[in-house]
C-alpha cells in the first residue's frame, strides 16, 4: 500500500496501454506492444482533454462533458488548479481539426471530502465560463441510472502516454474494453484502502491491460447508450508493466452530489 498514493503522481497523465505478457527480464529491453484502438471522430463526443495549471506545475487529465457548462473529472485533476485549458470536439489533441473547440476556465468544485492521501472521493467538476455550443462532435454524456456491477464489460478511453518510458501523450484518443472486478478482489491487491466508492478494472489475463487515464471516463453501454460509470483515479505504482488493475471513482454513489453542484 506504500506506493499506492505516489502512483497518481507518477502517472499524472492519461494513458491506455495493452501489452503482451513477456518474461520480466525482457521488459526493459523490448518495446511493449501498445494496444487500445484508435477512437473514430464522433465516437466519444463527451471526451475532454484538460491541461491543469497549478501554482507549481502543469499536467494533463481527461474529463467528460456532463452538460453545456460542466465537465466531470477526478478530484486530483482540479485540486489547486488555477487555470484549466480544455479541448473538446476532437479525437486528436494537436492535429488540425475544425471540430475542435478550446476553452479556458478557472472555476472548479472539488468534492469536499476529497482526501489526497487515501484518494477517497476523487471527484471534481470544472465549470466552463460560458455554455458551450453542442455539435455533432460535442455532446454531453449521462450519469448512470444504476450501480456498476461486478464483472461487467466497460470501456476506458484516453490520450494518455502509451508506455512507461514514453511520457508523450497519444495524439489520437484511444479506447479499450476491460471488466469491472469486485472490490473484494481488488482489495486483495491494494488492501483496505479500496473503498466502496471505488471500482477497479482489468483487461484479459492473456493481454494485460493498464489504464491510467486520470480524470478520464469509464463507460458502460446499456444498449447503445453510454453511461459515465467511473472516473480514472489511480494506477498501480508498478505501472504499465504490471497487470494490476487500475482504479476508478464510481460515479453512481456521487450522483446526488453532482446534481446538487451542477443543478441538473
Ligand X SMILES: *[C@@H]1O[C@H](CO)[C@@H](O)[C@H](O)[C@H]1NC(C)=O
> Site for ligand X (CB under 6 A): which residue of 153, 182, 204, 255?
182
Q: How far is the CB of 182 from ligand X (least distance, A)?
A: 3
Q: What kind and span of H or E run contains 81?
A: none
Residues 222-241 that bind ligand X (CB under 6 A): none
DSSP 8-class letter at 67 = S
**How far is it, in rounded angstroms, from Cα 201 to Cα 148?**
11
The residue to which cell 449521462 is assigned: 142
> Site for ligand X (CB under 6 A): which residue of 94, 136, 142, 150?
150
Strands (E), the chain: 16-18, 37-38, 47-53, 58-65, 70-73, 83-88, 101-105, 107-110, 124-127, 153-158, 174-181, 198-202, 209-211, 217-222, 225-234, 246-250
Q: Does 249 bind ligand X (CB under 6 A)?
A: no
Q: How far is the CB of 200 from ligand X (least distance, A)?
A: 10
Compare residues 111 and 250 and give the one whose CB is closer to ligand X.
Answer: 250
35 neighbors 175 (Cβ within 8 angstroms): no
Compare residues 95 and 182 and give the one whose CB is closer to ligand X.
Answer: 182
Q: How far is the CB of 60 from ligand X (least distance, A)?
A: 32
Compare residues 39 and 181 and give the one whose CB is closer to ligand X.
Answer: 181
Q: Does 204 bind ligand X (CB under 6 A)?
A: no
> Site for ligand X (CB under 6 A): which residue of 9, 40, 149, 225?
149
Give the residue at shortest CB distance from ligand X.
184
Compare residues 116 and 253 and give the one whose CB is closer to ligand X.
Answer: 253
Q: How far is the CB of 191 from ligand X (least distance, A)?
A: 14
> In this structure, what C-alpha cell is assigned to residue 235?
494506477
Rg, Å, the chain Cα set: 17
> Site for ligand X (CB under 6 A): which residue of 1, 26, 130, 184?
184
Tell me if residue 127 falls in helix, strand or coil.
strand
What DSSP letter does each residue of 82-115 carry, written as one string?
SEEEEEES-SBSSS--TT-EEEEE-EEEE-TT-B
Compare residues 97 and 185 and give the one whose CB is closer to ligand X.
Answer: 185
Sort strands 124-127 and 209-211 into parallel, antiparallel or unpaired.
unpaired
Closest-CA residue to 126 (of 58, 59, 75): 75
Q: Does 183 bind ligand X (CB under 6 A)?
A: yes
- Among the listed ranges 63-71, 87-95, 123-131, 179-187, the one in contact with ligand X (CB under 6 A) is 179-187
Q: How far is the CB of 119 from ligand X (least distance, A)?
A: 18
Where on the chain is the footprint of ligand X (CB under 6 A)? 149-150, 182-184
Amino acid at each position: 500500500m506504500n506506493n499506492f498514493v505516489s502512483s497518481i503522481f507518477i502517472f499524472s497523465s492519461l494513458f491506455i496501454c495493452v501489452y503482451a505478457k513477456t518474461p520480466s527480464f525482457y521488459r526493459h529491453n523490448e518495446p511493449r506492444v501498445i494496444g487500445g484502438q484508435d477512437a473514430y471522430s464522433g465516437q466519444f463526443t463527451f471526451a475532454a482533454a484538460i491541461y491543469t495549471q497549478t501554482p507549481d506545475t502543469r499536467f494533463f487529465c481527461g474529463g467528460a462533458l456532463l452538460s453545456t457548462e460542466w465537465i466531470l473529472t477526478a478530484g486530483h485533476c482540479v485540486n489547486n488548479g488555477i487555470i484549466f485549458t480544455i479541448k473538446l470536439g476532437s479525437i486528436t489533441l494537436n492535429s488540425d481539426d475544425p471540430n475542435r473547440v478550446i476553452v479556458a476556465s478557472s472555476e472548479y468544485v472539488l468534492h469536499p471530502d476529497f482526501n489526497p492521501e487515501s484518494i477517497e472521493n476523487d471527484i471534481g467538476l470544472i465549470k466552463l465560463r460560458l455554455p458551450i455550443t453542442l455539435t455533432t462532435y460535442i455532446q454531453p454524456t449521462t450519469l448512470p441510472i444504476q450501480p456498476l456491477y461486478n464483472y461487467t464489460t466497460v470501456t476506458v478511453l484516453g490520450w494518455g502516454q502509451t508506455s512507461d518510458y514514453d511520457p508523450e501523450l497519444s495524439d489520437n484518443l484511444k479506447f479499450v474494453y476491460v471488466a469491472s472486478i469486485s472490490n473484494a478482489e481488488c482489495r486483495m491487491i491494494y488492501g483496505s484502502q479500496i473503498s466502496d466508492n471505488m471500482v477497479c478494472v482489468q483487461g484479459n489475463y492473456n493481454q494485460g491491460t493498464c489504464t491510467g487515464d486520470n480524470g478520464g471516463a469509464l463507460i458502460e453501454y446499456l444498449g447503445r447508450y453510454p453511461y459515465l460509470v467511473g472516473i480514472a483515479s489511480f494506477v498501480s505504482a508498478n505501472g504499465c508493466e504490471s497487470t494490476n488493475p487500475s482504479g476508478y471513482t464510481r460515479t453512481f454513489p456521487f450522483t446526488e452530489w453532482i446534481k446538487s453542484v451542477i443543478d441538473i
